[in-house]
Structure 1
């Protein structure tokens, strides 16, 4: 029986944490002891940057998943290093590429576990972490652990990073889960593509559809990224934004367009009051005003009445839109509603019995 399973990816934000949540919940439901950790911390609170080295470094993703699943402290494995510009500079100045003495303690802790399974989430790509001696392939070799790769799929060209991973990982590559697949293409991929990938030595353990919810971002995250001023409804910054609309057309066209979208962030000029009021009557999660000027009192009143956050930014509309588009699909899975949806996606679209039987676990 394998004592550890590495969850990796060929590129960042490929859905690793969602898989960890689904896998761990499945194991817990089967009364199998599970532990979770990220050898290389990639997400952290600012105060952890200068933390006392005697305090275990628990990555934010690890902490969130632990709290979501009700894991005990001894089920959360501290990270060995924190990846940021300061630690990278320190590693580079030391000219060392080994993970250090602490890795042997870490390795012994993982391999000496007599029951259950340790889930380890690797860094964002196949090679990220090389400077720390903790890249995906280095961890797989040092722990002699199988690797499952989460990989977003758009078309057949998406196979090339997987082939590169197979070449590097060899027999340690257990398989892949294809993620962010167009829902209309899932049946075709499972019937035609999955057998083709298997012939190439890539076993597919799941085909998960693209999810607007999992790609969504909170209004609060947009406030942070845009350095926006919150004019009203600061208590509603937890609302989830799934789509983006630009209010640059006439009001009649805007109303028709707004009706087609859901859970929008609407970006429009501060002087376009008629567009702003129209947006508030649609499925709008926040209204973002650009340019000179301040919103009229009646707009603020209506936004407060409907509990829609009203934001004001210094950037122009184009820059604001670019920042928001960059945020979609590039935020951590740190909301309870996303976690609950991830459980369901993994359960419905991954072959969990097959996966854990391969690992020697009877679930």
Structure 2
């Protein structure tokens, strides 16, 4: 029977999928057979979330990762249920806390004669999925699995959630990958903090730096979140936005500010043609116009020449900025350029050899 490794986190969007990609590539390079799935799906491409769930139930992240690494369909582990307001409401009103009908199939799958690694990505946080009987702790205990956490590191207060997770998981907890560390702090964390965590019984298998690329969002995602109208360059929506700038200053100040930024989304009023033109000459991935009025023809022509998508929204600048800020670091890893970077990040900063030795 194979071994089951669960990748979890104390909070959503901590970098689980990026780590799974790195682990999958590592196992593939060593020709170690593995299967992959998410017991509780959290993302499904379907028009009506209240409709019947598709069969087989496979999370979008699982499909994407499988396509990137070339994992065969028979190596995909189907989800038991889908985490959403609609499914949660049904469970709540029916006081139903047990896993769904697909749970027996999951049990059978993980307990068969497969000689390899069952790699499972769990829901957003330690407790997410309790209503479905599919939280990280519940799954780890049921399948006697080992758990590796990916944890966002901000400062020493970040240790508290790790200690709480360690207590809840008990012997299932094998360690952590610290993620999103400020690059300038990387060496200090490795030299000074990691030994202290080990003294607390928390094994550290890697320290990964904060990545603007992995936190970035596509122009297409911004169009969707903002319900924006695309004025030009609709074929360039795959561009990645890493930073946000607001064009609300004088044009001279704006030009100096824009030069220091890279891969920006620039939000400015529809009447600020001077700012708009200055933004187009900088590292701008899309220009988002707020307020009344339409852009001048010369702006559209210049945007088309430089292949910079021009978007128009009905919301005010403040509301627009809030939506964009919420998007950074809170989108799924569904772009090949991010996947390629995740491979390198995990390879360079995680000790996967030591991790899998600990699974024996």
Q: Could you report, residue by residue, the CA deviation over 1:108-158 in whole angstroms, capped at 9, with x for unpaired residues?
A: 211224311011011001100000000000000000001000010010001
What residue in structure 2 maps to residue 296 of structure 1? Answer: 296
Contact 2:80-2:101 within 8 A present in 1 as well: no
Structure-2-length-normalised TM-score: 0.98
What residue in structure 1 maps to residue 281 of structure 2? Answer: 281
Q: Could you report, residue by residue, the CA deviation over 1:178-235 in whole angstroms, capped at 9, with x for unpaired residues?
A: 0000011111111110010011111000000000000000000000000000000000
What residue in structure 2 maps to residue 20 of structure 1? Answer: 20
Distance 1:113 1:19, change over 3 A: farther
Distance 1:324 1:172, change over 3 A: same
The question of 1:239 aligning with 2:239 is answered yes
What residue in structure 1 maps to residue 199 of structure 2? Answer: 199
Contact 2:151-2:179 within 8 A present in 1 as well: yes
Question: CA–CA distance in 2 between the matches of 1:223 and 1:113?
Answer: 47
Question: CA–CA distance in 2 between the matches of 1:2 and 1:180?
Answer: 31
Aligned length: 360
Question: CA–CA distance in 1 between the matches of 2:147 and 2:158?
Answer: 18
What residue in structure 1 maps to residue 313 of structure 2? Answer: 313
RMSD: 1.3
Q: Structure 1: any 5+ residue segments left out of the alignment?
A: none
What residue in structure 2 maps to residue 269 of structure 1? Answer: 269
What residue in structure 1 maps to residue 62 of structure 2? Answer: 62
3-state SS of the aligned residue for 1:97?
coil
Matched ranges for 1:222-233 at <5 A: 222-233=222-233
Contact 1:2-1:145 within 8 A present in 2 as well: no
Q: Could you report, residue by residue, the CA deviation over 1:305-324 in whole angstroms, capped at 9, with x for unpaired residues?
A: 00000000011111110100
What residue in structure 1 maps to residue 161 of structure 2? Answer: 161
3-state SS of the aligned residue for 1:201?
coil
What residue in structure 1 maps to residue 212 of structure 2? Answer: 212
Q: Could you report, residue by residue, the CA deviation over 1:287-336 in whole angstroms, capped at 9, with x for unpaired residues?
A: 00011111000000000000000000011111110100000000000000
Question: CA–CA distance in 2 between the matches of 1:241 and 1:289?
Answer: 16
Question: CA–CA distance in 2 between the matches of 1:281 and 1:359?
Answer: 53
Question: CA–CA distance in 2 between the matches of 1:114 and 1:35?
Answer: 9
Q: Structure 2: any 5+ residue segments left out of the alignment?
A: none
What residue in structure 1 maps to residue 99 of structure 2? Answer: 99
Distance 1:285 1:48, change over 3 A: same
Matched ranges for 1:160-199 at <5 A: 160-199=160-199
The runs of 4+ residues in structure 1 deviating greater than 4 Å are 50-54
**Deviation of the 1:25 alpha carbon:** 0.5
What residue in structure 1 maps to residue 3 of structure 2? Answer: 3
Matched ranges for 1:60-139 at <5 A: 60-139=60-139
3-state SS of the aligned residue for 2:314?
coil
Distance 1:189 1:272, change over 3 A: same
Q: Could you report, residue by residue, the CA deviation over 1:58-93 in whole angstroms, capped at 9, with x for unpaired residues?
A: 100000001011111011111000111111111112
Structure-1-length-normalised TM-score: 0.97
Contact 2:38-2:120 within 8 A present in 1 as well: yes
Contact 2:2-2:114 within 8 A present in 1 as well: no
